[in-house]
Amino acid sequence: MPTDYYDTIYQKKINYDGSNLQEKAITRGLQEFDRYLATTPTRQEVLRNGKSIYVSVQRSHQTLVGDRYEKDILGKLEDNLKVGDIFEWADEKWIILTQQRLSIPSHFRGKIRLCNYYLKWNHGGQIYETPGHIITSRAFALEEGQKAGLVWEEGNMVVLAIVPSNIETNTITRYNRFILKGRAWRVVSTDILSIDNLIFIRLEEDQINLATDDLENGLADKYRPDAETSELIEGHIYDIVGPAKLVSNQIGAYTGTSDGETAASVIFSIDDEDLAVLNAESTTNPISIRANNKGLVGVFNITCEFVDTGKIVTRNIKVTSMWG
């Protein structure tokens, strides 16, 4: 019967090979890559998010020095590799920088670089750390004779840090400081636009501050206290926790706290909506505030009323331009 042939042979063939030439090519590509990954001498076991997966790690077409720090990586689509991923291979951390768009999407192909430094920073009393790739315009990461947009000025060393973009690294802003190889470096700009899931941080050499920097643990501004904003009212401590300064168009999060705990019911307000605006309902806690994008600079007051007790706390916030 024709229907028997359709059900038992034809339909199975369609499901296996695909219904058109493109689907057939993709199916064959997936099968061929599976066979390749199972037999290639470049097959490597790596750890990503605590899970073991297998990829092919190959020599990159870079300079001799660059080969030490950059490799090509091929992996299965089912492993969902993406730009910005950090994984461990050969007892070292590596970050995925690029993904090649294949005409037949049979596997992941991209470039990885060694995370040769860890960035540590203090944000609101919380210490963060992330692996990253640090390069300079004098160094190993580029083809010979190319600068690729990196800036190096005589007498003023400039480096570029490449780190994954996530909730923690998005707290890095202009004027943050880092300790790298016993020297201090200050952030002069950050780039979150060029490549999704990556942040490019431009750093210039700064002076060590022995009063605030922890050189032994590689942490700048560890001992610098935030401005005192809390108030002791009738035996209870009320505070507005958040950054003391916002750069033009930057969003900052502010939390009304009572005795160190997030207050259940508050009302926020600001006194100069030309400088900044509330980004949510005034009763949200924490609340986000966006600085203006018109180039206006100055100081505004943020006020938090604690509804349960009727207590009010006010704090000054400075708005600066992108250039300080």
308 token code pair: 């349960």
Candidate CATH numbers 3.40.605.10, 2.60.40.1080, 3.40.980.10, 3.40.800.10; the one for domain 231-320:
2.60.40.1080
Residue 50's identity, in one-letter code, is G
**Contact criterion met (CB below 8 Å) for 109 and 97:** no
Integer Cα distance of 250 and 105 in angstroms:
38
- Domain extent listing, the chain: 2-114, 117-206, 231-320
What are the residues whose beta carbons fall under 8 Å from the beta carbon of 267, sequence distance 6 or more?
Answer: 282, 283, 304, 305, 307
Q: How many CA atoms lie within 13 A of 112 on its CB side?
A: 27
Q: Residue 255: which of 300, 299, 315, 308 has the closest Cα?
A: 315
198: buried, middle or exposed (CB in 10 Å: 19+, 13-18, 0-12)?
buried
Q: Is 231-320 the same fold as 2-114?
A: no
**Contact criterion met (CB below 8 Å) for 43 and 59:** no
The three-state secondary structure class of 93 is: strand
- Does pTM surpass 0.75? no
**Contact criterion met (CB below 8 Å) for 276 and 265:** no
What is the dotted CATH code of the domain comprising 117-206? Answer: 2.40.10
Integer Cα distance of 24 and 106 in angstroms:
11
Q: Examine residue 286 and say whether the peptide bond preceding it is cis (omega within 30 degrees of 0).
A: yes
**Contact criterion met (CB below 8 Å) for 300 and 317:** yes
Cα 297 to chain centroid, rounded: 27
**What 8-state DSSP symbol labels residue 228?**
P
What is the dotted CATH code of the domain comprising 2-114? Answer: 2.40.10
Q: Provide the residue-wise pLDDT of the chain in tens; the chain has 324 residues.
A: 444 544 555 455 555 555 566 777 778 888 888 999 999 999 999 999 889 999 999 987 655 445 567 899 999 999 999 999 999 998 999 999 999 888 778 899 999 999 999 999 987 677 899 999 998 765 544 444 444 444 444 445 778 899 999 888 988 888 889 999 889 998 988 998 888 899 999 998 888 888 788 888 999 988 765 555 666 667 778 888 888 888 888 888 888 888 878 888 999 999 988 899 998 888 888 888 989 888 888 899 999 999 988 888 888 888 887 655
